């Protein structure tokens, strides 16, 4: 029997929205039926329309797993201007959301910088961006999830109903606690343009002081930065504006991260601000001017990832993969990290995204949070570092982060031993939720999925 929780779901307010909601109900019924009638308990992977923004891996078992078809979960059900919310299916990419909401003077509160990151993937894989210093991650702006369990039941989960733990554990779950089938998230007012100032800092101390000041004063709408080196650090702060004297785009010959060292200010049409990194954040392809001239216009993040995924046997080195990792650190340990990183890693530039600790995420252990005194954390993203010598730089970062009370997201190669992994990620909370949503473990547990199956084990 299909169990819909006692919490009444947020429903669309317009006749068009209600028609789309009914259509959504039929899609959910199809997926639930497929799960309910499935006899096998072998692992199941999702099939969605847009490319996955996980680092492609040659032996990832998701390529050979049986699939559950989520291809049609890709519609916006309603943008409700009055309630300032959007109701959407998980497969909608942010570029489609912004296309629909911006003409109404609204945008999602956190808009990840790559055009085709989907709202569902942003929750399950932890998305962030330059508004995160005020609002945390995209998940923190969501108010309701509909989740289909492995048994084909449908749960409506909110931060404060009886499924609140399921709601919180969907964030950062990498799909291991069920299928997110519908989301309701908040929108904020937006303007047509963004004005950005690139502050230049020659020392880590001055850079950190400026981040702290903006965080305390909340005097800008956007804040992120590019660390070109420990003596050349750009902090990029900005606001929505109604008019712009000129605008720039970084989707062909010009490379955004380089502009942060060269310019002192910039103007963008709002969507081109959001997707300023779409050609690769700090790891832009192709790198040469000629390459960019010839094919740069056609190679956004989606295309690069799609090619890497399709030609993974040819292009990727599973033994010594380049390092792509998001590291989250307490703000108070950032200086120590940057000094260590310069000495032991030395790959630049780094992307720096301040992130407010809006909620102590239930998927991290109590011990982790005990060691974490700060109200502000910072994501330092290392994208495309070549590994040198015999050092496993992924593992080196995993170890160093633990020393500094940091954590990394699980989007790429993960080498944690199992016991160490569960000292960071909250096994008991995962098990409690999975007992309800996936008792036969058909979506794998977090360790199996991100540390074993993704690497072919």
Ligand X SMILES: Cc1cc2nc3c(=O)[nH]c(=O)nc-3n(C[C@H](O)[C@H](O)[C@H](O)COP(=O)(O)OP(=O)(O)OC[C@H]3O[C@@H](n4cnc5c(N)ncnc54)[C@H](O)[C@@H]3O)c2cc1C
Backbone angles phi, psi at 455, to 5 degrees: -110, 20
Among 134, 324, 327, 405, binds ligand X (CB under 6 A): 324
Closest CB to ligand X among residues 51, 237: 51
Among 60, 113, 140, 266, binds ligand X (CB under 6 A): 113
Q: Would you count residue 112 as binding ligand X (CB under 6 A)?
A: yes
**Residues 297-326: b if buried by 16+ CB within 10 A, e if exposed:** eebbbbebbbbbbeebeeebeeeebbbbbb
Q: Would you count residue 32 as binding ligand X (CB under 6 A)?
A: no
Q: Would you count residue 12 as binding ligand X (CB under 6 A)?
A: no
The distance in angstroms from the start CA to the end CA of the chain is 36
Answer positive or negative: Cα dihedral of 448, 52, 296, 93: negative
H-assigned helices in 186-244: 204-217
Among 109, 128, 380, 453, binds ligand X (CB under 6 A): 128
Closest CB to ligand X among residues 24, 48: 48
Burial of 425 (0-12, 13-18, 19+ CB in 10 A): buried
Q: CB of 383: closest distance to ligand X in angstroms?
A: 6
3-state secondary structure of 22: helix
Among 122, 156, 190, 223, binds ligand X (CB under 6 A): 122
Q: Would you count residue 172 as binding ligand X (CB under 6 A)?
A: no
Q: Would you count residue 271 as binding ligand X (CB under 6 A)?
A: no
Closest CB to ligand X among residues 104, 256: 256
Closest CB to ligand X among residues 383, 416: 383
Q: Would you count residue 120 as binding ligand X (CB under 6 A)?
A: yes
Closest CB to ligand X among residues 91, 219: 91
Residues of span 383-412 touching ligand X by CB under 6 A: 383, 411
Residues of span 180-199 touching ligand X by CB under 6 A: 180
Q: CB of 429: closest distance to ligand X in angstroms?
A: 17
Among 12, 24, 31, 46, binds ligand X (CB under 6 A): 46
Q: Would you count residue 175 as binding ligand X (CB under 6 A)?
A: yes
User: What phi-psi label fits residue 388: left (phi over 0), alpha (psi between -120 and 50 degrees) or beta?
Assistant: beta
Q: CB of 171: closest distance to ligand X in angstroms?
A: 10
Burial of 30 (0-12, 13-18, 19+ CB in 10 A): exposed
Q: Would you count residue 220 as binding ligand X (CB under 6 A)?
A: no
Distance CA 412, CA 384 (A): 11
Residues 155/53, Cβ–Cβ less than 8 Å: no
Residues 274/309, Cβ–Cβ less than 8 Å: no
Q: CB of 320: closest distance to ligand X in angstroms?
A: 18
Residues of span 273-292 touching ligand X by CB under 6 A: 277, 281
Residues 410/450, Cβ–Cβ less than 8 Å: yes
Distance CA 36, CA 151 (A): 5
Distance CA 133, CA 212 (A): 10
Q: Would you count residue 124 as binding ligand X (CB under 6 A)?
A: yes
Closest alpha carbon to 183 in 156, 157, 144: 144
Closest CB to ligand X among residues 121, 321: 121
246 prior amide bond cis, ω within 30: no
Closest alpha carbon to 126 in 53, 189, 71: 53
Q: CB of 33: closest distance to ligand X in angstroms?
A: 17
Distance CA 271, CA 240 (A): 11
HSE-CB at 258 with a 13 A cutoff on CA atoms is 11
Q: Would you count residue 129 as binding ligand X (CB under 6 A)?
A: yes
Q: CB of 230: closest distance to ligand X in angstroms?
A: 22
Give me the 50-89 binding string for ligand X, x by CB under 6 A, dash otherwise: --xxxx--------------x-------------------
Contact residues toward ligand X (CB under 6 A) are 46, 48, 52-55, 70, 90, 112-114, 117-118, 120-122, 124-125, 127-129, 174-175, 179-180, 277, 281, 324, 383, 411
């Amino acid at each position: 029997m299909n169990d819909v929780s006692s919490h009444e779901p947020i429903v669309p307010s317009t006749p068009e929205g209600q028609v789309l909601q009914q259509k959504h109900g039929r899609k959910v019924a199809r997926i639930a039926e497929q799960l309910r009638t499935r006899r096998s308990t072998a692992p199941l992977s999702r099939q969605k329309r847009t490319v996955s923004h996980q680092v492609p891996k040659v032996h990832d078992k998701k390529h050979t797993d049986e699939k559950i078809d989520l291809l049609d979960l890709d519609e916006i059900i309603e943008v409700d201007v009055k309630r300032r919310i959007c109701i959407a299916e998980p497969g909608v990419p942010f570029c489609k959301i912004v296309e629909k909401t911006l003409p109404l003077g609204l945008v999602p509160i956190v808009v990840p910088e790559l055009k085709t990151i989907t709202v569902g993937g942003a929750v399950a894989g932890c998305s962030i961006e330059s508004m995160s210093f005020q609002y945390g991650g995209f998940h923190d702006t969501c108010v309701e999830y509909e989740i289909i369990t492995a048994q084909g039941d449908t749960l409506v989960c909110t931060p404060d109903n009886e499924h609140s733990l399921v709601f919180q554990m969907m964030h950062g779950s990498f799909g291991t606690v069920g299928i997110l089938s519908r989301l309701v998230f908040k929108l904020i007012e937006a303007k047509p343009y963004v004005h950005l100032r690139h502050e230049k800092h020659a020392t880590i101390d001055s850079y950190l002081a400026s981040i702290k000041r903006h965080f305390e004063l909340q005097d800008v709408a956007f804040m992120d930065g590019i660390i070109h080196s420990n003596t050349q650090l750009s902090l990029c702060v900005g606001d929505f504006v109604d008019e712009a004297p000129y605008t720039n785009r970084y989707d062909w010959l010009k490379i955004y991260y380089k502009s942060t060292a060269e310019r002192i200010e910039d103007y963008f049409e709002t969507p081109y601000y959001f997707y300023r990194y779409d050609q690769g954040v700090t790891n832009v392809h192709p790198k040469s001017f000629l390459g960019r001239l010839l094919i740069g216009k056609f190679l956004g993040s989606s295309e690069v990832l799609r090619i890497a995924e399709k030609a993974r046997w040819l292009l990727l080195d599973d033994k010594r993969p380049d390092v792509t990792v998001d590291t989250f650190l307490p703000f108070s340990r950032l200086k120590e990290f940057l000094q260590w990183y310069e000495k032991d890693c030395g790959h630049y530039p780094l992307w720096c995204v301040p992130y407010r600790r809006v909620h102590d995420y239930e998927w991290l252990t109590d011990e982790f949070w005990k060691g974490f005194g700060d109200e502000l954390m910072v994501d330092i993203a290392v994208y495309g570092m070549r590994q040198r010598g015999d050092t496993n730089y992924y593992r080196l970062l995993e170890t160093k982060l633990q020393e500094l009370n940091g954590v990394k997201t699980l989007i790429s190669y993960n080498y944690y031993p199992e016991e160490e992994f569960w000292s960071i990620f909250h096994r008991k909370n995962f098990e409690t939720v999975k007992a309800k949503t996936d008792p036969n473990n058909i979506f794998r547990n977090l360790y199996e999925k991100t540390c074993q199956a993704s690497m072919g084990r």
